[in-house]
Structure 1
Amino acid sequence: MDYLNTKLLKILYKILKQSFLSIDILLSWSLTFIKFKLNGVHFSNDFISRGIPLVNVNLKGCFSIGKGFVINNGINYNMIGRQQQCFFIVGPNAVLNIANNVGLSGVAIICYKKIEIEDNVKIGGNTVIYDSDFHSLNPEERNSQPENLSNVIVKSVKIKKGAFIGAHCTILKGVTVGENSIVGAGSVVSRSIPNGEIWAGNPAKFIKNI
């Protein structure tokens, strides 16, 4: 009898879990759709959003997404630790372009000039991509009130097709990650990576060819 009760409980648990996930994914998709629309994002309706991202696009900014976009937001959808929702911040006159078949997990993309992510790119949990220093390198400008941001350095970032960026990486301004290249987990990328290479470390350095 105990065996039957345990088996029934397991079956019931699986049914409820699957039902909850189906409802949650549908709700996540709907709310993400609304966020994209309210922020003027150009996107394909075939995207998959598990959880809800943060989206903030300036009225003069541009954010476009291709087909087959998949994002995981929060600890329930990619349990690798220190997990957050995806962040998409696009400043005035900035351009964020995400192409086809791109997958992101808890990734923060802060765009003040131009960030391009090409086809078939995968980016691991808690990675951040910045095209700006955010603050001036001049201490007087940095410590002024209000802060003087007129000389903040911004440089475009490009992640080429087929690249794979591991979890907890930082991609800094002016960087290009080459076609089919791999960035090891926890790396800080401050200079461009050629096509077909593996880089890792802080700062990221060449490891080997693929």
Structure 2
Amino acid sequence: MTSKRDILDRLKAGEQVSLSDPDYYKIYAVVDNTIRLSQKLNSSADTNELRNCLSEIIGTKVADSTIIFPPFYTNFGRFISIGEHVFINHACSFLDMGGITIEDGALIGPKVNLITENHPLNPADRSALVTKPILIKRKAWIGAGATILPGVTVGENSVVAAGAVVSKDVPDNVVVGGIPAKFIKKITE
């Protein structure tokens, strides 16, 4: 039996959503729009036009102080929230059906992957989606090629080293790195 709640609400809440759900067309509608707008975003050579395209994708205005370098990839877009003074470098990929929040002053290095989506282990249900949000707190820095997995919070001022795969929360004011990411050191002023 299908829930009475809207499929987008269920998706963002982390409920398992099956491809056979009769409301799945609503997800496809957002995805189709995002694909169309992403082509425009990635062909732009103007920072204001980039911000405007991303604003249209996510459904809220991206601050003038935020900088995005193309190409930028997202499969959904509607569940991305970006603060002020954020920098997103080239070739980042945001799979945001579970929600991605990037707070003020965060730095996202090139080729960073923020992935909020997963699938059940049971092969009979594997095509279904299960999501968990990602939170990148104030002034965090995600190094080049790092991957942040579903449900992870990266703490304020923390640094994720280049190439790291982060599967657990990162406390405030630390450096983590490796696969899987582990504590390296505390950041002191």
For the criterion TM > 0.5, the same-fold answer is yes
User: Structure 1 residues 199, 138: CA separation in 2 closer, same or farther (over 3 Å shift)?
Assistant: same
The one-character-per-residue Cα deviations of 1:74-115 (angstroms, maximum 9, x if unpaired) are xxxxxxxxxxx1113326xx5210000000112111111221
User: Structure 1 residues 126, 195: CA separation in 2 closer, same or farther (over 3 Å shift)?
Assistant: same
Paired residue for 1:168? 145
User: Structure 1 residues 117, 39: CA separation in 2 closer, same or farther (over 3 Å shift)?
Assistant: closer
AA partner of residue 175 (structure 2): I
> Paired residue for 2:53, among 28, 32, 35?
35
Q: Distance in 2 between matches of 1:35 and 1:26?
A: 9
Q: Distance in 2 between matches of 1:138 and 1:97?
A: 32
Paired residue for 1:72? 69
Q: CA deviation at 1:28?
A: 3.0
AA partner of residue 120 (structure 1): G
What's the % identity of the aligned pairs? 33
Q: Distance in 2 between matches of 1:99 and 1:208?
A: 27
**Equivalence map 1:34-113=2 (5 Å):** 35-36=53-54, 39=57, 41-43=59-61, 65-73=62-70, 85-90=71-76, 95-105=79-89, 106-113=91-98
Q: CA deviation at 1:72?
A: 1.5
Paired residue for 2:111? 126
What is the aligned length? 144
Q: For the Cα contact (< 8 Å) 1:67–1:99, is it kept in 2?
A: no
Moved over 6 A (4+): none
User: Structure 1 residues 162, 26: CA separation in 2 closer, same or farther (over 3 Å shift)?
Assistant: same
Q: CA deviation at 1:160?
A: 0.3
Over alpha carbons, which structure has the higher Rg? 1
User: Structure 1 residues 37, 186: CA separation in 2 closer, same or farther (over 3 Å shift)?
Assistant: closer
Q: CA deviation at 1:40?
A: 6.3
**TM-score, normalised relative to structure 2:** 0.68
> Paired residue for 1:181, among 155, 158, 161?
158
Within the alignment, does 1:195 sit opposite 2:172 as a pair? yes
Structure 2: 5+ residue runs without aligned partners?
1-42
